[in-house]
């Protein structure tokens, strides 16, 4: 029985069989080598550009030292710097006195604070008062108060009148204390700080004022038992009451 023979037609395109086989083999090797490179090459590692910043070991100590110095400076400012005062506070009061007495008070919107007066002065509300132990004329009394950064007392309320009346009664050996009210002309009374004179808010003694042209100056009469103790007198030598705004801290 004759065996079957299978023929295969191969086209070499004018190239020799060896060249075709060799080209195919080379193509296989190139493709294979590319596959091998792709499969075996390690993935590219992403460079870490972020490096933690190193601080010198002494930096925390320096920061702590600066904070400590800041606290010390703040304490020195609070203790040494002159008292902060209200906008109408004369600076002469602070320059004149070095010894102060302070009371703890509650300020609206600012919490607890302090109100201070020069040592030996009396405080009521937001004012400080000095009751002099010596006698001077009305003009000299005003000058003396001004020299201490204050003025002769200006009485604006019943509470202030009550407080000052109580204070002068405690000094039994003194009779009259000048306040900052005086007649500039006949029955034309004026406060030293230009506060308008209100006749309905005064505290004249009975039958006073008597004659403002002859007795133009005003005192508080200590022996008077009632709250109405104002008296017009001649501007001779008497004691005085000086007033200044309290220093707030």
Residue 39 lies in a domain: no
The rounded distance, in Å, linking the Cα atoms of 169 and 147 is 26
208 near 52, Cβ under 8 Å?
no
Residue 65 lies in a domain: no
Residue 104 lies in a domain: yes
Residue 40 lies in a domain: no
Tell me, what's the pLDDT at 112? 72
Domain limits for position 228: 82-248
Tell me, what's the pLDDT at 100? 92
115 near 105, Cβ under 8 Å?
yes
The pLDDT tens digits of the residues spanning 16-66 come to 444 444 554 455 454 544 544 444 545 555 555 555 566 778 788 888 889
Task: Give 97's Cβ-side CA count (13 Å radius).
Answer: 23
The rounded distance, in Å, linking the Cα atoms of 113 and 79 is 14
The pLDDT tens digits of the residues spanning 124-178 come to 999 999 999 999 999 999 999 999 999 999 999 999 999 999 999 998 789 999 9
Residue 17 lies in a domain: no
Residue 1 lies in a domain: no
For tokens 């009210």, the residue is: 181
Tell me, what's the pLDDT at 76? 57
Task: Give the CATH number for residue 111.
Answer: 3.10.100.10
Tokens of 80: 């040494």
Q: Which of 96, 113, 117 is nearest to 104 (CA)?
A: 113
The pLDDT tens digits of the residues spanning 62-94 come to 888 899 998 888 765 555 444 444 444 445 787
Q: What is the pTM of this model?
A: 0.64
Per the structure, the count of domains in the chain is 1
- Name the percent of the chain lying above pLDDT 70: 69
148 near 174, Cβ under 8 Å?
no
Residue 59 lies in a domain: no
Tell me, what's the pLDDT at 111? 64
The pLDDT tens digits of the residues spanning 182-212 come to 999 888 999 999 999 999 999 999 999 998 8
Tell me, what's the pLDDT at 93? 80
Residue 86 lies in a domain: yes
């Amino acid at each position: 029985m004759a065996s079957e023979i299978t023929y295969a037609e191969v086209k070499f395109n004018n190239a020799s069989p060896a060249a075709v086989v060799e080209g195919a083999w080379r193509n296989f090797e190139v493709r294979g080598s590319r596959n091998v490179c792709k499969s075996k090459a390690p993935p590219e590692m992403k460079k870490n550009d972020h490096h933690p910043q190193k601080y010198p070991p002494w930096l925390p100590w320096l920061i702590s030292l600066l904070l400590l110095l800041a606290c010390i400076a703040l304490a020195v400012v609070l203790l040494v710097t002159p008292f902060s005062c209200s906008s109408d506070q004369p600076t002469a009061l602070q320059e004149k006195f070095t010894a102060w007495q302070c009371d703890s008070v509650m300020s609206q919107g600012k919490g607890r604070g302090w109100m201070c007066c020069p040592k030996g002065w009396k405080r009521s509300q937001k004012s400080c008062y000095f009751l002099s132990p010596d006698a001077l004329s009305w003009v000299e009394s005003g000058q003396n108060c001004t020299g201490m950064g204050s003025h002769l007392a200006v009485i604006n309320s019943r509470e202030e009148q009550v407080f000052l009346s109580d204070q002068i009664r405690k000094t039994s050996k003194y009779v009259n204390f000048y306040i900052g009210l005086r007649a500039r002309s006949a029955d034309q009374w004026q406060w030293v700080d230009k506060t308008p004179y209100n006749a309905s808010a005064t505290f004249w003694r009975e039958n006073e004022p008597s004659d403002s042209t002859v007795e133009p100056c005003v005192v508080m009469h200590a022996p008077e038992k009632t709250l109405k103790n104002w008296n017009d007198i001649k501007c001779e030598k008497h004691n005085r009451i000086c007033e200044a705004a309290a220093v707030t801290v």
